[in-house]
Amino acid sequence: MRHEIIDASQLELNDKVVSIKRVTKTTKGGRNMRFTALVVVGDGNGHVGAGLGKAIEIPEAIRKGKEDATKHLVSISLDDNKSIQHDYVGSYGSAEVLLKRAPEGTGVIAGGPARIVCDMAGIKNIRTKSLGSNNKQNVVLATIAGLSKVMSPEEVAAKRGKSASDVRA
C-alpha cells in the first residue's frame, strides 16, 4: 500500500456501513454484548479507507468505524474514464479480489463489499471477482489493498527511470 499521508480534514468524505455484527464475550457474570461495524469512507475522487469500530451501541460503533477508516485512507490512481490503470489481484488474508480494467460504459460490476469500496473511491468502470474467502471484512481490505497497488504509467516510468511515453507503448 502507498504510505503517503493523506490529510482527511481537507477531503469531503462520505461513509457507508458494510456490515454490523453482534459479538458476545462470555464472562463470569454472564454474556457481554457488543456491536462491530465495518465502515468504508471515500471522497469519490480516488481516496478510500476502511475501518472497524466496536461499541455497546450501534451508532457509537459506526462513529468509531468511520474514525478508524479516515485514519487508514489510501489514494488510488484512476485513468480518464474513471477506471483503474491495469488489472491486479488484491489479497488480504485468504480473500483475493480480481480487479479488471473496463472501458467507458461498463459500470461497476462487483459484488457486495467490493462494490461499496469502488463506489466510495469514485470508480465508475471496473469488473471485479471475489476469489477465496467471502468474509466481508477481508474482501473490503483485499479490494483496498489491490486498488492501492495499481500504479499510473508515470509512477511505473519513474520507478524504471524511463519516460511515461516509453511505458505506455
Tell me the pLDDT tens digit for each residue of 137-164: 999 999 999 999 988 888 888 888 888 7
Domain boundaries, the chain: 8-74, 77-151
Q: What is the residue-averaged pLDDT of the chain?
A: 90
Question: Is pLDDT at 97 greater than 90 in this prediction?
Answer: yes
Question: pLDDT per residue over 12-28, tens digit each?
Answer: 889 999 999 999 999 99
Is residue 75 over pLDDT 80?
yes
pLDDT at 6 over 90: no
Find the range with the poorest average confidence among 12-16, 48-52, 75-79, 164-168: 164-168
Class of 77-151 in CATH? alpha beta
Give 30: exposed, middle or buried? Use CB within 10 Å, 0-12, 13-18, 19+: exposed
Q: How many CB atoms lie within 10 A of CB 165?
A: 9
Banded model confidence at residue 11, pLDDT cuts 50, 70, 90: confident
Asked whether the beta carbons of 56 and 35 are under 8 A apart, the reply is: yes
Indicate whether 2 pLDDT > 60: no
* Residue 118 and residue 128 in contact, taking contact as beta carbons nearer than 8 Å: yes
What pLDDT is stored for residue 39 in this prediction?
A: 96
Average of per-residue pLDDT across 101-115: 92
pLDDT of 36 > 60? The answer is yes
pLDDT above 60 for 60: yes
Distances (CA, A) of 38 to 17, 63, 139: 6, 10, 11
Fold of 8-74: Double Stranded RNA Binding Domain (3.30.160)
